Amino acid sequence: MTAFDEMMAGDGTRPPYAEFHRWLSGQPDDLLVTKSSDAEEVFRRTGITFAVYGEEQATERLIPFDILPRILSATEWARLAAGIEQRVRAINSFLHDIYHRQEIIRAGIVPLDLIATNDAFLPQMIGLTPPGGIYTHIVGTDIVRTAENEFQVLEDNCRTPSGVSYMLENRETMMQLFPELFIQNRVEPIEDYPKHLRRSLAAARPQRTTDHPTVAVLTPGVNNSAYYEHAFLADQMGVQLVEGRDLRVVDGHVAMRTIEGYRRIDVLYRRIDDDYLDPLSFRPDSVLGVPGIMDVYRAGKITIANAPGTGVADDKAVYSYMPDIIRFYTGDAPILSNIPTMRCSEPDTLAHVLDRLDELVVKEVHGSGGYGMLVGPAASSAERAAFAEKLKARPANYIAQPTLALSTCPVLTKAGLAPRHVDLRPFALVGDGIRIVPGGLTRVALKPGSLVVNSSQGGGTKDTWVLRDGPGGTATAAASAPGIRFPAPQQPDPPDPAAAPAPPGQTEAGQ
């Protein structure tokens, strides 16, 4: 398969890269090597790291960063932003529906078993409407490109999407190293993301809360793979970073410990998994959460972002129904298409997948971080045979997709510039509207020929540029939509009486 080259087209340079390519062609050979070393030093000095589980040595690593930007035109971005906004609306509507009337199941569009037997579906959320009707306050949508005008959604990240700190630090580093390029190329700014994040979280505060709600970020602690990001975002928003041991329920509210006593929290941006959130409602052995927080949540006295139970929308089997989900809730065709997805839970499909393991990519329905997957064309016969046994043992735990020729962007290697496959994770914020930062985190597979971009699997990141449209630059794709609201809180329906854990935080998406 021939991959689409995002910088070069035929014998020339694609328009979004024209200015950058002219600059690049005029630079001395050793400039990029020097600048790359400077960037690594910036990352080392700043402490931009991620953790890798299951390794005895070097568990804290610098995030690999390539200094050649990925560049999108305003027109390309406008389409992406519109498609992401449409998807975010549909996902929130879907989550509200499955925890209430389940109209999409009644309509026969999504099968009941897919939800009822889903590990991420929480019976504790049945009949409960979060403040503002918002389930996913922060959404990371992974997008791949396969042709000039072909963008497809790879997966949705609705639980605790990570990576935005790397996006912001990548931009800060590039502006330090190449300030002139941002003038020449009229790049859309992204530095207001923390301000927009706090605004969105504050807008989702519970009813009868003051106009200045107290916001905090809940982290599992320093041993979590994304702790750097938790601390970074709390600092950038100017809010407290707390652990479960800092919190308790006081007078029917969640409060955090301060030097002046306990202070009430109105909005908690949690970066821990559902299972660890409340030992009285979920895992009784959890020491990471807050005993009783779900009772406060049910009473409408705290906003938890993202809402518990949103992980069902991350499920890769649910993903296979997403085009129908979008049509059901929006009445429109999807702007961004899905990758064709086969559900191994279906016997005929399982047989088809087993016959073609050497051609397909097979993933766990709840997998993240590049773990638990098989890239058939890159796997050995022994690896495929071992994976086939896993498929036969638990077919409903897997989906399969064709191996795509992901687009490439140039990266700096020891031998010079070389193409590497990339994907893109834009971030959408939902509060008083839907805001999508112009760009996102570009992840790049640094190994030659690899399609796995996750940093835990040897991938790296790039700065993502969205160019302004027209002379002087007019921002066209910030996707800010003030006044857009999800369903207002309703009287909760009566709760339904019927109703190998990962290490804490391992399900943080995007590593």
Give the pLDDT confidence score for residue 209 in this predicted structure: 84
Percentages of the chain per state (helix, strand, coil), in multiples of 5: 35, 25, 45
The residue-averaged pLDDT of 271-289 equals 96
Lowest mean pLDDT among 39-43, 193-197, 419-423: 39-43
Q: What phi, psi does 85 have (nearest 5°)?
A: -60, -45
pLDDT digits (tens, 9 = 90+) for 195-226: 999 999 999 999 888 789 999 999 999 988 88
The pTM score is 0.88
Residue 487: pLDDT over 70: no
CA dist., res. 33 & res. 173, Å (int):
15
Secondary structure of residue 437 in the 3-state scheme: coil
Q: Retrieve residue 340's tokens.
A: 């064709």
Residue 53: pLDDT over 60: no
Count of beta carbons in the 10 Å neighbourhood of residue 252 = 12
Give the pLDDT confidence score for residue 110 in this predicted structure: 97
Residue 355: pLDDT over 80: yes
- Residue 240: pLDDT band (50, 70, 90) is very high
The residue-averaged pLDDT of 389-410 equals 93
pLDDT digits (tens, 9 = 90+) for 86-103: 999 999 999 999 999 999
Q: Retrieve residue 65's tokens.
A: 């960063």
Give the pLDDT confidence score for residue 459 in this predicted structure: 85
Count of beta carbons in the 10 Å neighbourhood of residue 473 = 14
Are the CB atoms for 129 and 96 separated by under 8 Å?
Answer: yes
**160/477: higher pLDDT:** 160
CA dist., res. 303 & res. 481, Å (int):
21
Q: How far is CA 358 from the centre of its chain?
A: 28
CA dist., res. 220 & res. 230, Å (int):
9
pLDDT digits (tens, 9 = 90+) for 251-269: 999 999 999 999 999 999 9
The residue-averaged pLDDT of 78-83 equals 98
Question: Which of 290, 296, 295 minimizes the C-alpha distance to 278?
Answer: 290
Residue 386: pLDDT over 80: yes
**277/496: higher pLDDT:** 277
The residue-averaged pLDDT of 297-306 equals 97
CA dist., res. 87 & res. 426, Å (int):
12
Residue 129: pLDDT over 80: yes
Q: Which residues contact 321 (CB under 8 A, 6 or more apart)?
A: 109, 110, 114
The residue-averaged pLDDT of 110-126 equals 95
Question: How would DSSP label each residue in 137-180?
Answer: SEEEEEEEEEETTEEEEEEEE-SSB--HHHHHHHHHHHHHH-HH
CA dist., res. 269 & res. 263, Å (int):
16
Q: Which helix (H) or strand (E) holds 91?
A: helix 74-98
Give the pLDDT confidence score for residue 46 in this predicted structure: 80
Give the pLDDT confidence score for residue 504 in this predicted structure: 45
Q: Give percent above pLDDT 90 in the chain.
A: 75
> What is the pairing mode between strands 398-402 and 360-364?
antiparallel
How far is it between the farthest Cα atoms of the chain?
A: 70
Residue 484: pLDDT over 50: no
- Residue 114: pLDDT band (50, 70, 90) is very high
> What is the pairing mode between strands 240-242 and 253-258?
unpaired
Are the CB atoms for 468 and 74 separated by under 8 Å?
Answer: yes
Three-state SS string over 374-425 comes to EEHHHCCHHHHHHHHHHHHHCHHHEEEEECCCCCEEEEEECCEEEEEEEEEE
CA dist., res. 341 & res. 315, Å (int):
12
